[in-house]
Structure 1
Amino acid sequence: MTRTVLNGPDDNSRLGGLLRRLAGTASTNIGFPAAVDIDYRKLAPFLGHLLNNAGDPDIDPIHPHHTKEFEREVLAFFANLFRAPEPWAGYVTSGGSESNLAALQLARSRYPDGIVVHSTAAHYSIPKAAHLLGLSTIVVNAQPNGEIDYDELACHAELHRRRPIIVVANIGTTLTEAVDDVIYIQDLLADVGVHDRYLHSDAALSGIPLALTDDPPGFDLTHGADSICISGHKFLGTPMPCGVLIARHHNTDHLPNAVPAYIGSPDTTITGSRNGFASLMLWLVLHELGRPGLRERAQYGQELAQYAHQRLQDIGWPSWRHPHALTVVLRTPPASVLSRWPLPSMDGRSHIVCMPGVSHSQVDQLAAALAEKGKQMSRPSELDRSTHPACATRVGIP
């Protein structure tokens, strides 16, 4: 690894080069979920201040340089969106990974001998968080469409039913945007005799747009989740990573409740000092758009995803998408296309994510690049179908 000495004579040129690289790749960077339609630059004057939301969001710290009043409004919005019963708790995190770690900490505080169960499609932060917390894990296969294999989950749950089971449900997997059925998982655990259970909905990618659609699948706190998290830098497009965790309040009763005298606020968070600028950015977009504006953006992304799927089908490039998904899964393009269009790829599958700010023109350009290569399927494949198999046949639990 090349190491560069700080304060070199070419600092300005390096910064200029970074800015040119970011601007030059923006038009083809549609494989990673980050909305680009919101301008946060009106908050630039606040960059001249340290904004430290140290400690619990409900209690202001001693120092005045914080944005906790804005954070509380953000949390109230998401508690309402995800129908959290009163009383609830939560805070603005550094991103999905911290949110998942905090959720599993809540689960462990309630069930110290609990077993974490997640699918092979779960975010990489889940096994990492379980390891940090010293929790045992069981990994369940995912179905071809990305959903957890419910029958395999039932088998593992029945085998370990005398221990608490902590299930992490994917609400929008990273590759296919599959959504695990929280209601069905709760019923499944009850049917096999698991009395002590905790269910966390990792909704980093899809939680907001799904909650704003008509007839969404069951995944929120009314549907049986004990905690839920979203990422701010995905659907809301904040220019720095952040997230939100909302949990049933009874889950926080077992946490340490230290009150550092020099902070003046109890610290029930993972990080202690937290980014007050993130709360301000989230407040800004929620305040300006509200539910109507967010719903309109969600509908735009879903319609664009449907358009992208159809464009790929029209040129003979295998693709599919889940209902309501912003993600379109496609056969992995050749390296010559990926060199310009950096799409996440695994096992012969890639995806694009039609986040707000992605345009029809960008989709058309990618389709044109694929059509030019003429790499069309020569044999049947799972991706040859206009929609991927639901893989939702569920065997009853005896």
Structure 2
Amino acid sequence: MLQDFFHTCKSNQFNVIGYPVSADFNYQELDKFWQFSFNNCGDWAVESIYSLNTFRFEKEVMRYFAEKFSIPFETSWGYVTNGGTEGNMYGCYLAREIFPDGILYFSENTHYSVAKIVKLLRIEHRVVRSLPNGEIDYEDLQRQIALNETEHPIIFTNVGTTLHGATDNLDKIKAILKYAGIQREDYYLHVDAAFHGMILPFVDAPQPYSFADDIDSISVSGHKMIGAPIPCGVVLTKKEYVENISVAVDYIVANDKTITGSRNGITPLMLWYAIKSSTEQEKELRVKRCLRLAEYATEKMNEKGVPAWRNPNSVIVVFPTPSEAVWRKYGLANSAEYAHIIITGHMIDNIQFLDQLIEDVALDLKEDETMTVA
């Protein structure tokens, strides 16, 4: 069974095109560490009595992301998570502790996990309409803020929505809050940058996305644009906020500032290795090659009569949902109206597969139009 499963994995590893994962990674240098029972329980900034941890690597990972997201490392805190959902929950958790009476606003195109988070944390919330390209509807956000009496909005923003790859405009959102008479210290801005958080730092004209744009917390996935065999990510915030949730744990002689307590010790090692094994120039080149290939796929589909499009600085190409036979063949993520392909690192050298998909989608659309006319 294991050998059969291995062959299945090898056959499909580089044909993942409908979901945001990068398969162009190689962590063989870390194979020797699988024999250890790592546990990153507690705060990586404090020495733990449990010596089998990867805190020294986690600290460097967080230093890297603090630099990438424009916050002084000394005034920041965050940790390596199990993925974007945990990072988003952490941001919402911090916001709720700061503003217990706050209302969380998020768009209908926000990742489905946020609907679970508001139930788990019991946060009062409002779902805001989305624009056709997937961004939050700014007029509806303004209307809903005006309708509610709370003085403490918690705004959940997207830097790359799941289906459309849309980025909410932080400048417009802050202008709405200012117009409503809400002072900066009276609201909280969380950014879900699960996928595009490792794209925007490497483009020439990024949309606002970082602490330089006055955000309060940000969540990024590690297995998406970076690439990893295990779901993982980071969450980053301001150190002053974390003190509200810090818990002293006597038997490990440490403070726990996380959600999960015992945490994966391998993933900080992987993220550290991914960061250190390429230069920033190489990371930028990889991102820009993905963006060029996404542009190529969009143009190629349009040439063949498929009305494909993508948002600025996004590697997600959106097009009408094809027949089930096609989306199952290529493992495409889709809704009733739209499907998408996602160009990550492993697709750069797999253009033949991309061209084959484009041909099949175009042919499928023509056949559908013919059947509709008939």
Sort the TM-score into its range (normalised by shorter chain). over 0.9
Counterpart of 1:172, as a letter, is G
CA–CA separation in structure 2 for the residues paired with 1:200 and 1:373: 40
After superposition, the C-alpha distances for 1:160-201 in whole angstroms (9 at most, x for unaligned) are 253310000011000010000112211211111223100000
Query: What's the counterpart of residue 5 of structure 1?
Result: none
Query: What's the counterpart of residue 130 of structure 1?
Result: 118
Q: Is the alpha carbon distance of 1:306 and 1:265 closer, same or farther for their aligned partners in structure 2, counting shifts above 3 Å?
A: same
Unmatched 5+ residue regions in structure 1?
A: 1-13, 380-398
Query: What's the counterpart of residue 351 of structure 2?
Result: 360
Unmatched 5+ residue regions in structure 2?
A: none
CA–CA separation in structure 1 for the residues paired with 2:100 and 2:40: 29
Contact kept? 2:103, 2:150, Cα under 8 Å: no
User: How many residue pairs were aligned?
Assistant: 365
CA–CA separation in structure 1 for the residues paired with 2:76 and 2:330: 42
**Runs of 4+ with >6 A deviation:** none
Shift of 1:341: 0.7
Counterpart of 2:297, as a letter, is A
Among 312, 332, 335, the alignment partner of 2:324 is 335
Q: Is the alpha carbon distance of 1:114 and 1:374 closer, same or farther for their aligned partners in structure 2, counting shifts above 3 Å?
A: closer
Contact kept? 1:117, 1:139, Cα under 8 Å: yes
TM-score by length of 2: 0.94
Contact kept? 2:22, 2:224, Cα under 8 Å: yes
Shift of 1:250: 2.1
Query: What's the counterpart of residue 238 of structure 1?
Result: 228
Query: What's the counterpart of residue 240 of structure 2?
Result: 250
CA–CA separation in structure 2 for the residues paired with 1:366 and 1:162: 49
Q: Is the alpha carbon distance of 1:194 and 1:371 closer, same or farther for their aligned partners in structure 2, counting shifts above 3 Å?
A: same
Higher helix fraction (1 or 2): 2
Shift of 1:376: 6.6
The answer to whether residue 35 in structure 2 is matched with residue 45 in structure 1 is no
After TM superposition, the structure 1 = structure 2 runs for residues 62-81 of structure 1, keeping only pairs within 5 Å, are 62-81=49-68
Query: What's the counterpart of residue 139 of structure 1?
Result: 127
After TM superposition, the structure 1 = structure 2 runs for residues 186-201 of structure 1, keeping only pairs within 5 Å, are 186-195=174-183, 196-201=186-191
CA–CA separation in structure 2 for the residues paired with 1:141 and 1:72: 39
CA–CA separation in structure 2 for the residues paired with 1:187 and 1:368: 44
Query: What's the counterpart of residue 9 of structure 1?
Result: none
Counterpart of 2:241, as a letter, is N
Counterpart of 1:118, as a letter, is F
Counterpart of 1:270, as a letter, is I
Query: What's the counterpart of residue 89 of structure 1?
Result: 77
State, as a whole percentage, how many aligned pairs show the same letter: 35
Contact kept? 1:161, 1:192, Cα under 8 Å: no
Structure 1 counterpart SS, 2:213: coil
Among 315, 326, 329, the alignment partner of 1:326 is 315
Q: Is the alpha carbon distance of 1:320 and 1:33 closer, same or farther for their aligned partners in structure 2, counting shifts above 3 Å?
A: same
Shift of 1:290: 3.3
Contact kept? 1:186, 1:224, Cα under 8 Å: no
CA–CA separation in structure 1 for the residues paired with 2:301 and 2:367: 10
CA–CA separation in structure 1 for the residues paired with 2:138 and 2:339: 25
After superposition, the C-alpha distances for 1:300-350 in whole angstroms (9 at most, x for unaligned) are 110110011111112212210112111000111222222311101102210
The answer to whether residue 303 in structure 2 is matched with residue 314 in structure 1 is yes
The answer to whether residue 111 in structure 2 is matched with residue 120 in structure 1 is no
Structure 2 counterpart SS, 1:259: strand
CA–CA separation in structure 2 for the residues paired with 1:361 and 1:349: 23
CA–CA separation in structure 2 for the residues paired with 1:371 and 1:111: 50
Contact kept? 2:81, 2:235, Cα under 8 Å: yes
After TM superposition, the structure 1 = structure 2 runs for residues 1-398 of structure 1, keeping only pairs within 5 Å, are 14-85=1-72, 86-195=74-183, 196-255=186-245, 257-358=246-347, 359-373=350-364, 375=366, 378=369
